[in-house]
Amino acid sequence: MTGSKSKEPWYLQLHGQVGIALLSGFLVGVCARLLAPHGFPTEAFGEGVGVVGDIFLRLLKMVIIPLIFTSLVCGVASLGDARSVGRVGLRTVLFYTLSTTLAILVGLTLVNVFAPGRYLDIGSSATLPEGLSSSSQSLSHFLLHMVPDNIVRAMGNGDVLPVIFFAILFGLFLVRINGPNVDTVHRVMEGALEVIQGLTLAIVKLAPIGIFALLTREVVRSGPELIMRLLPYFATVGGGLLIHAFVTLPLILVLLARRNPLEYFRAVLPAVATAFSTASSSATLPLSMECAEKEAKIPRGISSFVLPLGATVNMDGTALYEAVAALTIAQMYGVPLDLSQQALVLATALLASVGAAGIPMAGLVMMVVVLEAVGLPIEGIATIIAVDRVLDMMRTSTNVWSDLVGTAVIARFEGRSP
Ligand code: ASP
């Protein structure tokens, strides 16, 4: 990956190429749709191009678990002792809670002012996706499964949170226990990390191709008419996400991390763009880690800790969306929610965003938790589902951008800003 101060022309640098990929993916998708009435096989074209994107997605997923494990073990070991790890952990959790709460407040303000639910009808013909039932989601289940009963199974299933839990403990005991054998394990971990980082770097170079392919398919699949029908709701969530991403988070970056938001955004753009096209924080993690370390110069001890945790539990965009969607559904059913009920929405949206996995549509599934908390019918989800994919892309980029802002803030508080 090229450095942000590189002499290379912008279009040869990764963020320039990613920008071109976003624009051309969108344009090619629109052209394919326009050509459909003239006999162009638009659908087949979109799905065909999409396969290239799927390969990119699988490559990313391939490196997630080994990357999290080796970098977290080495990162925790480099922090030295349990007290430092605890301090970084506490700061991380505090920051994530703060930024997510701010996001929800922005969402609640907008949804109260614009009341998009007034424009929606109950009883859309859309059906609820499978697995969207009250029994399928529980927060205690989430907490329990943070502790793996079988680490190999957790890794095999790609369950990030239990792997994080085990890797932190492994890293802590790696520095606590002395001896030549343990030193060898430490060196093996460092070596494995170097190899997996090299591999990740090679995959990251493919990001522009992957982003182009995924975006083209997305535009071909979900045309603009879907968005039009739910425009007020779409604009409320989208507007909230934009305010949080381009006002709140940059302010935090300046005030708490003392970083230039424009420069920082440019350094991490490949990660944010990948989040947009994949709608998955987890799949974006390899890119986030590369950008944070190589481009934004965040020390590995910090980024390897803050980012995997963030990709799993810090979802500002998802939380904002949960709050807006819940209130929109309440407005649609003509059920006004008073201040205490809105406070309950805030709390459950926060918890639901922590519990949502970093995969596409996870936020939609967690809506059940929020709706049930305030006694709203979960069937309301069927109405807003039509625009979920596009909102998912937007909220995932906000989630990832917030993780990266958090990393800069924690690095500064730990006295390890570049
Ligand atoms: N897709 C989001 C993510 O991976 C989660 C969500 O659906 O809100 O961050």
- Residue 139's contacts (CB-CB under 8 Å, 6 or more residues apart) are 351, 355, 369
Ligand 1 center from residue 206 Cα (angstroms) = 22
Residue 389's pLDDT band, with cuts at 50, 70 and 90, is: confident
Q: Is the CB of 365 under 6 A from ligand 1?
A: no
- The CA-CA-CA angle for residues 251, 307, 63, to 5°, reads 140
Mean of pLDDT values over 286-294: 93
Q: According to the model, what pLDDT value does residue 123 have?
A: 52
Pocket lining: 241 vs ligand 1, CB cutoff 6 Å:
no
Residues across the chain? 418
Evaluate if residue 381 carries a pLDDT over 80.
Answer: yes
For residue 3, name the pLDDT band (cuts at 50, 70, 90).
Answer: very low
Ligand 1 centroid distance, CA of 154 (Å): 20
Q: For 21-34, write each residue's pLDDT tens digit.
A: 988 988 999 899 99
**Which residue, by CA, sits nearest to atom 1 of ligand 1?**
360
Contacts of 186 (CB under 8 A, 6+ apart): 77, 174
How much is the mean pLDDT over the chain? Answer: 87
Query: What is the pTM for the complete model shown?
Result: 0.80
CA of 77 to the centre of ligand 1 (A): 30
Per-residue pLDDT for 312 more than 50? yes
Q: How far apart are CA 281 and CA 301, in angstroms?
A: 20
d(CA 331, CA 337): 8
**pLDDT tens readout for residues 193-244:** 889 888 988 888 898 999 899 889 888 887 666 566 688 999 999 999 999 9
Q: Is 316 in the pocket of ligand 1 (CB under 6 A)?
A: no
End-to-end CA distance of the chain: 18
Answer yes or no: are the C-beta atoms of 326 and 236 closer than 8 Å: no
| DSSP conformational letter for 387 | G
* Residue 325: CB atoms within 10 Å: 30
Ligand 1 near 362 CB (within 6 A): yes
Q: Where are the domains of the chain?
A: 9-413
- The Å distance, Cα 358 to ligand 1 centre, comes to 5
C-alpha of residue 175 to centroid of ligand 1, in Å: 35
Reported as a pLDDT band with limits 50, 70 and 90, residue 267 is very high
Which class is domain 9-413? mainly alpha
Q: Whose CA is nearest to atom 6 of ligand 1?
A: 363
Closest atom, ligand 1, to C-alpha of 284: 4
Q: Would you tell me how many other CB atoms lie within 10 Å of the CB of residue 165? A: 18
C-alpha 352/C-alpha 24 separation (Å) is: 35
SS3 state of residue 4: coil
Which one-letter amino acid corresponds to residue 233? Answer: Y
Model confidence over 51-100: pLDDT tens digits?
Answer: 998 998 889 888 888 988 888 888 788 777 788 888 988 999 999 999 99
Q: Which atom of ligand 1 is nearest to the CA of 283?
A: 4
pLDDT per residue as tens digits for the range 147-161: 999 999 999 988 777
Q: How confident is the model at residue 324 (pLDDT cuts 50, 70, 90)?
A: very high
